[in-house]
Structures are given as C-alpha cells and as structure tokens.
Structure 1
Amino acid sequence: MVEIEALDCGYGGAQVLFAMALRVMPGEVVTLMGRNGMGKTTTLRALFGLLKPKAGTIRVKGRDMTGAAPHLVAAAGLGYVPEGRQIFPRLTVEENLVATARPRPEGWTLSRAYGLFPRLRERRGNLGTELSGGEQQMLAIARALMTNPDLLVLDEATEGLAPVIRAEIWSAIAALRADGLAILVVDKNLEALLRIAERHAVIEGGRLAWSGTTAELRADRTLALRFLEV
C-alpha cells in the first residue's frame, strides 16, 4: 500500500528524518511509535506531500509519489486524520462530511459514517466549534473515511481525549480493521496499539529504530522502555 525508503526531510535547514523507512501492506494495521519530537508527524506530513523530501522515495501502491501534491496523494487512496483534527469550524457536522467526500460504489456514505459514530448523527446540524474534542476527533475520522481511502492514517488518534471517548475511537478503529481497511496509526497508548495492530515501527531521532510484530514487541518489553518511555 505504502512504502517509504531512505527518506530525508526537515524544516528549513533543520533535518528531522534520516533515511527513514516504513511500509504498510494492504489490509494491515501498522503503528508508528516514538517519543515526542522523534519525527512521527514529519513522516506523515512528507507522506501526504505537505513537506518536500530532500532525499528518498515514497511509493503508494507501487507508484512513485515522492513530493507529490497533497490532492494527488489523497486521490491515490490515502485518507488523513491530522494531529489537532483540523475540521472546518464554521461548517456543520454534515457539511464537514460532504465537503470533501469522494463517492465510491459500496463505499462510505453519510449513513455509514453515522452508523460508525452515532454521536455525529445527533450533532449533524451543529457547527464544528460547537463540538467537544472527542466529537471533533470522530468527525475528523469520519471525514477522512468519506473520501473512501484504501489507507487511513491517524496522527495522535486519541490524544487528550476522555477515557470513554478513547474507548469509542479504538472500537471504531477495530471495526475498520475488521472491514479490511489498511490503517497507519500514531498514538501513545501502547496497550491499545498492541491490541489493534499486527506490526509496529518505532522511530528514534528521525530514524527507524525498530520494526516488528506485536508478538515480538510483547516478548521484549525492554524495547518499549528503551524507545517509548519518557
């Protein structure tokens, strides 16, 4: 689905990523983990064309998309739920969902999105500014799904949310996984990530420090302590 190889990227003269590598296969759930400031968001921004790589290759479904414009990356089948949600604040819930929708036969519709997040149906006439943080995150996920992506990418999927809302988000991600949607997720909740994903990538200092399966990570908890604990 996505393959990143030898990616160098940064901001101005400051390099953040050094030969970063990452791959996601069709139907696979993969996590990108690491402490704050290690380059997780930078990796995702480069993937979506929001940052131009200095070196390396980004392929989507085998097609070279290195440095491609964001709308072309989205058209290739990637849906993005950015850190901070970034919903349209002066549009209603329903307007947010239809504004960037990309219809597909047997794909995501308003009815299906409301089925995944019933709270959004109840709030469909409310403006983005009138939603709680958890409702905004649900809306950001549903908006990305309305583009009918082949890969859903979530940056800080549950950051700052109440426990009950986090549980709803993880339940929704589990349902998407069961439907066969490929997912790349960034979050700090290690136990939830271990439950939801088959494979994990850990970034340290802008480099891929470790990658492996859930079983391998559970078998060696020192890996988590070494790369993820503050």
Structure 2
Amino acid sequence: MKSFLSVKQLQAGYGRAQVLFDVSFDVEPGQVVTLLGRNGMGRSTTVKCLFGMLAASAGQILVGGESVRGEPAHRVARRGLALVPEGRQIFSQLTVEENLVATARSARAGALAQPWTLERVYGFFPRLKERRNNLGWQLSGGEQQMLAIGRALMTNPKLLVLDEATEGLAPVIREEIWRTLDALKREGLSQVIIDKNIGHLLRLADRHYVLEKGRVVWQGDSEALKRQPEIVHQYLGV
C-alpha cells in the first residue's frame, strides 16, 4: 500500500547543533505509527519539521506523494495533517466552541465518509458539549486535552499527530483519551503518536520507530517489540 506520509532521510537542528540524522519512516492510510524514545532524542523536532515550524536541512517529507518540506503550517494542514501539540496550546480566552470553530476546515466532498462537525466532536467528547460556553482557562487539564483533540479533528484531517497527548493527566482521563484514539483508528484515521505509555501503544499501534540521538535505531511492529523487551529497556528507560 502506498504511504500517505513518507519521511525520508530527514535532517534538522537548531543553529549549529544538528538534532536529526537521516530520520525515515512511513505511515500508510489508516495506520497508527509511534515515534518512541527518551526526551531530547528528536521526536518533537521531527514533528516541528512535519508542520513547517522548523526548517529541515535535508531529506524529504511527502504527503500523498507530494513534497511539503518547507511549507508553512497552514498549507500542511490543507494537505490533511493535524497536530495535537504538547502542552495542548488551546486558546485560553476563547470558549470551547470558539476554540473548535477557530481553525475548522470543511471536508472536501466525498473525502470522508463522516466529516467532523461540532456535533460529531461533541458526540465523541460529551464533556465538551457541557462546557461549550466555558473559556479555555476554565477547563481542567483533561478537558483541555479533549479540546485540543477535538480542535484538530475539526480540520477534517487524514492524519492526526499527537505529541504527548496523555502526559500529566489523571489515570481515568488517560484511559478516555486512549479509548478515543482506538475509536479513531477503527474509523480509519491515520495517526502518529508520541507517548510514554508503552502498554497502550503496543495494543494500538501497527508500527513503531525508536529514536536515539536523532537516529532511528529500531523499527518494527508491536509483536516484534513485545519479543524484544531489551529494546524498551535500553532506549525508553522503562
């Protein structure tokens, strides 16, 4: 199957400090892929390159076979990528509903079997509907994370990128987020997930890429990773 997202030999850094060294990975339509590694190993830098927040110095970023390397974030979004950023970054002075519609983008005719609308997002996250008139700063951490995911879905993406979406949340809220990601996978939405919860990732993801000092040092499916617990111990520190 042809990849929806293909990253090839990506290199990037900050000033003279190179962070990524020939990072390559692929995401097929409907596939869930993880970028694993300790903090500071290049995962978030890779995400910044995907969304045009950091200029890559070499390599390719292809979406649907077309290059998006160097394109600004709004053009990347039009290609079908959406980001749930680390730290949520919701608009604290806007209401829940205003956050959801602020960056909403209608699905192209026939592009999605069930386009994302306000009511559909509220169906996924009933708590957001209850809080629709509350300002962003009035929400709990878990509600803010639901809002960040809902806001990304309102762009009607083909691929959702989640950077530490469950970090710092109460266990019951984390479980709700994982159930949501599982439901999105069943609907066929491609995902790239950065997270530390290996147990959930092994159940949800189709393929894993482990980064160490800006290089992909291991890749494989969940069964292969289960058979090699030393990989988790060595590179993830679990």
> What TM-score, normalized to structure 2?
0.95
TM-fit CA distance, 1:98: 0.6
TM-fit CA distance, 1:66: 1.1
Q: State the distance in 1 between where 2:92 and 2:27 align.
A: 32
Equivalence for 1:154: 162
Q: Following superposition of structure 1 onto structure 2, how do residues 52-71 of structure 1 map, counting pairs within 5 Å?
A: 52-71=55-74
Equivalence for 1:92: 95
Q: State the distance in 1 between where 2:133 and 2:13 align.
A: 40
Q: Following superposition of structure 1 onto structure 2, how do residues 203-218 of structure 1 map, counting pairs within 5 Å?
A: 203-218=211-226
Q: Following superposition of structure 1 onto structure 2, how do residues 1-230 of structure 1 map, counting pairs within 5 Å?
A: 1-104=4-107, 105=109, 106-229=114-237
Q: Is the partner of 1:88 in helix, strand or coil?
A: coil
Q: Is the partner of 1:16 in helix, strand or coil?
A: strand
Question: Number of matched residues?
Answer: 230
Q: State the distance in 1 between where 2:231 and 2:213 align.
A: 15
- Greater than 2 Å deviation, 4+ residue runs: none
- Structure 2, unmatched stretches of 5+, are none
What amino acid maps onto 2:64 in structure 1? K
TM-fit CA distance, 1:103: 1.4
What amino acid maps onto 2:82 in structure 1? G
TM-fit CA distance, 1:11: 1.1
Q: Is the partner of 2:77 in helix, strand or coil?
A: helix
Q: Is the partner of 1:15 in helix, strand or coil?
A: strand
- Structure 1, unmatched stretches of 5+, are none
Q: Is the partner of 2:128 in helix, strand or coil?
A: helix
Q: Is the partner of 1:149 in helix, strand or coil?
A: coil
Q: Is the partner of 2:22 in helix, strand or coil?
A: strand
What amino acid maps onto 1:150 in structure 2? K
TM-fit CA distance, 1:13: 1.6
What amino acid maps onto 1:154 in structure 2? L
TM-fit CA distance, 1:14: 1.2
Q: State the distance in 2 between where 1:8 and 1:20 align.
A: 7
What amino acid maps onto 1:94 in structure 2? E
Q: State the distance in 2 between where 1:134 and 1:25 align.
A: 30
Q: Is the partner of 1:175 in helix, strand or coil?
A: helix
